[in-house]
Amino acid sequence: MITRGITTLSKGMQAMIDFQDVTAHNLANVTTDGFKKTKVTFQDILQSGVNTKNAENKTKEVGSLSIGSRIDRTYIDFSQGALVPSDRNMDVAFQGDGFFKVRYNDIPDNAPYNEKNYYYERTGHFKLDDQNYLINREGDYIMDTQNRRIRITRDPDAKELDEINRFDLTKDMLIGENGQIELNAADYRVTLQKIQVCDFEDKTKISGIGQGKYLPIYGQDAGLYVKKDGTFNIQQGFNEASNANTINEMLNTINVSRGYEAMSNMLRTQSESLQGVISLGNLSA
């Protein structure tokens, strides 16, 4: 029984350490735009039945006994973060569900379509490269509804960015709630490409690959689909804040610390009891 208690406490302490790692990661990203916090679920392990015998010497199950717990799984919480006004009209944020489809910048336009060349993100901190293609902070291309790079000029077909094709980025570019991009000035108005917005039917089957990028878990079908107009809302001039809350994560840290300390004290007591039993056994021998 004493050794069972030691086993139970050691499993619980390891679960607390793992939970603290998750909490620390969330806490480190409370100011990261678009960050989605990670949550954990726990499960009992090595569950065993507890039996007793009645007057007729028949065995009867009276319950079960857990000898430890561990983290069952971690999952990403995609709940909405607060929308924070930005001073850039190249910043966009989702109000509701949705992901931008992004292609790695080292994939040529004429490459055969391969889903491995893409990833998905909610962070909409965009800019233009030297050819006026719409890119993210890593320099990867934002895709339109036809899986093409998005080029923002007065004449998208022109190869050269001459004076005619230049525009005032701070004023002239508009991104609609449905992702439609327009150039709108006093002397001209041009409708350009539309940003592709995707989503997943089962978000428990997608995982983060760092820097706010997401992919379906290998070998699992997360139900990727392209969202239709009216099922999402893009806000220009806003950033989505992290959905991790400093106070909640600090409370988790305090609770983990207290729980770990309590189990550590109990483990010390169990260890001393075991040591006493061993010593008593040696004296008896």
Convert the pLDDT of each residue in 189-202 to its tens digit: 889 999 999 999 99
Average pLDDT over residues 79-87: 92
The strand order across the sheet containing 234-236 reads 124-125, 91-94, 234-236
Q: Measured on CA atoms in the order 100, 94, 236, 182, is the torsion positive or negative?
A: positive
26-70 pLDDT tens trace: 998 998 888 899 888 766 655 555 566 666 666 666 665 555 566
Residue 91 contacts residue 124 (beta carbons within 8 Å): yes
Q: Residue 169 corresponds to which tokens in the numbers above? A: 């980025």
Q: Are strands 124-125 and 48-53 parallel, antiparallel or unpaired?
A: unpaired
Nearest to 186 by CA among 214, 209, 158, 167: 167
**Is the pLDDT score of 75 beyond 80?**
yes
Burial class (CB in 10 A: 0-12, 13-18, 19+), 266: middle
157-192 pLDDT tens trace: 766 666 556 667 767 889 999 999 998 887 778 899
249-282 pLDDT tens trace: 888 888 877 876 777 777 677 666 666 666 655 5
Nearest to 173 by CA among 85, 236, 93: 236
Q: Which residues pair with 171 in a beta bridge?
A: none
**Is the pLDDT score of 102 beyond 60?**
yes
Calculate what percentage of the chain has a pLDDT beyond 90: 44
**Is the pLDDT score of 8 beyond 80?**
no
Q: Which residues pair with 60 in a beta bridge?
A: 52
Find the farthest-apart pair of alpha carbons in the chain and give their distance in angstroms, rounded.
102
pLDDT at 16 (0 to 100): 78
With cut-offs at 50, 70 and 90, classify the pLDDT of residue 211: confident
With cut-offs at 50, 70 and 90, classify the pLDDT of residue 285: low
Burial class (CB in 10 A: 0-12, 13-18, 19+), 26: buried
Q: Residue 74 corresponds to which tokens in the numbers above? A: 């971690």
Cut 0.85: pTM above it: no
Q: Residue 194 corresponds to which tokens in the numbers above? A: 């539309």
Nearest to 77 by CA among 46, 122, 44, 109: 122
Helix, strand, or coil here: 28? Answer: coil
With cut-offs at 50, 70 and 90, classify the pLDDT of residue 119: very high
With cut-offs at 50, 70 and 90, classify the pLDDT of residue 224: very high
3-17, 113-127, 191-205, 246-260: the lowest-pLDDT one? 3-17
Nearest to 17 by CA among 264, 204, 265, 244: 264
